[in-house]
Chain A
Amino acid sequence: EPEVTQTPSHQVTQMGQEVILRCVPISNHLYFYWYRQILGQKVEFLVSFYNNEISEKSEIFDDQFSVERPDGSNFTLKIRSTKLEDSAMYFCASKLQVNTEAFFGQGTRLTVV
C-alpha cells in the first residue's frame, strides 16, 4: 500500500543550526502539507504546497521556515536557525485531490538543544 515516507525519524540539533526534514509523498498525490505537534498539544498546520508553490501558510510558518519540492518525489521542510521552541514532531501529509483524505507520514521528531 502506498505511504508517505519521512526521514529522519529523529533529529537532534543545536539551537541556531539549520535542519532539513525530508518527505516522499504518495506518488500520484498533488497536494502536500507540513504539520507539527508539540508534545502534549494539538496537531497544527504549517504550510500547504501545490503546483510547485506555497498555497497557504500559518502564522507559525515565518521567515525561518521554507519548503521545496526539489524533484518529482521529495518534499522538504527547512528550518534555517532552529530555536528551542521548534522541538516537536513534524508530519508530512499528502492528498490526491484537494477534497480527499490526507495521509500522514510517520513523522520526524525534532529535538533542539
Chain B
Amino acid sequence: QKEVEQNSGPLSVPEGAIASLNCTYSDRGSQSFFWYRQYSGKSPELIMSIYSNGDKEDGRFTAQLNKASQYVSLLIRDSQPSDSATYLCAVTGEGGYNKLIFGAGTRLAVHP
C-alpha cells in the first residue's frame, strides 16, 4: 500500500514567520510531487510541483525534495493569516496514469 504521511497539526505560526510543512512517502518509484492548499469545504488548489531533488522557489513558497530520504517539504515565508488552510502533499507513482496519492494534510494556522 503506497502511503503519504503528514503531521496533521495544527501548526501554529505568528504572522510574518516561516511555516515548515513536511511529508514522507513510501513508494520509492514516485516521480512527481505536489503541494495543494485546501480551505475548509473547498477543493485542492495547486501551490507547487517538484520533480527533481533540490529546492524550487515560487514567490513566498519553496518546495524541497529529497528522493533518497523519500521526503518532501514546503516552506512558506512571511506567513499571512490568509495562508491558514490545510496543506496536502500528493505524489504520483511510476507507470499507470499517474493518479495522485494524497496525505491527510497538515492544518496551518497563522495568527496575527
Contacts and interface: CB of A to CB of B under 8 A. Distances in A.
- Contact residue range for chain B? 20 to 34
Contact of A103 (B46, B97, B105): B46
B43 A105 contact: yes
B55 interface: no
A109 to B, nearest CB: 8
B97 A48 contact: yes
Given A43-B102, A99-B32, A101-B34, A56 B44 contact: no
Contacts of B36: 104
A43 B99 CA distance: 12
Contacts of B100: 33, 35, 43, 45, 93, 102
Contact of B97 (A41, A56, A101, A105): A56
Nearest to B44: A104
Interface in B66-98: 88, 90, 92, 96-98
24 contacts: A31-B97, A42-B102, A42-B105, A43-B102, A44-B102, A45-B99, A48-B97, A50-B97, A55-B96, A56-B96, A56-B99, A89-B43, A91-B43, A95-B98, A99-B31, A99-B51, A101-B34, A101-B46, A102-B34, A102-B100, A103-B46, A104-B43, A106-B43, A107-B42
